[in-house]
Amino acid sequence: MTTPLAFAHIGDLHLTRAEADNARDFSAIVAQIDETEGLDFVFVPGDNADNGLPEQYALVRAGLDGLRLPVHVITGDHDMEGGSLDAFYAGLGARRLPYAVDVRGVRCLFLDMCGPGTGGPDFRLGADQVAWLAAELERAGPRDCALFMHSYPADLKGEGEADRVAALIHRGPVRLVEMGHTHYNELANDGRTVYAATRSTGQIEEGPVGYAVAALDGGVVSWRFKELARPWPFVLITAPADRRLAFDAGHVVGERFTLRALVLGAAERVEFRIDDGPWRAMTRPDGARCHEAAVTWPAGARAIAVRAQAAGAEDADLVEPARDPDGLPTSRGIGSDADALGAWEDRGLLGTQLGPNRNGRQW
Q: What is the mean pLDDT of residues 302-317?
A: 96
User: Residue 1 pLDDT > 70, yes or no?
Assistant: no
- Residue type at position 294: A
Over residues 76-110, the pLDDT tens digits come to 999 999 999 999 999 999 999 999 999 999 999 99
- In a domain? residue 101: yes
Say whether both 185 and 257 belong to one domain: no
- CA nearest to 185, candidates 347, 8, 14: 347
* pLDDT, average across residues 69-74: 98
CATH assignment at residue 53: 3.60.21.10
Nearest one of 254, 257, 259 to 235, comparing CA atoms: 259
Q: How many domains does the chain have?
A: 2
Q: Are residues 49 and 102 in the same domain?
A: yes
For residues 67-75, average pLDDT: 97
Residue 146 lies in a domain: yes
For residues 245 and 167, state if they share a domain.
no
Asked if 185 and 247 sit in the same domain, the reply is no
Contacts of 77 (CB under 8 A, 6+ apart): 46, 47, 114, 117, 119, 120, 121, 122, 123, 150, 181
Query: How do residues 134-156 score in pLDDT, each as one tens digit?
Result: 999 999 998 999 999 999 999 99
Instruction: State the chain's mean pLDDT as an integer.
Output: 95
Residue type, 226: K
Q: Tell me, yes or no, whether 348 lies in a domain.
A: no
Check whether 360 has a pLDDT greater than 90. Answer: no
pLDDT, position 210: 98
Model-level pTM? 0.97
How much is the average pLDDT of 340-352?
96
- What domain range includes position 12? 5-230+333-338
Asked whether residue 362 is domain-assigned, the answer is no
pLDDT at residue 184 in the model: 96
Average pLDDT for 38-57: 97
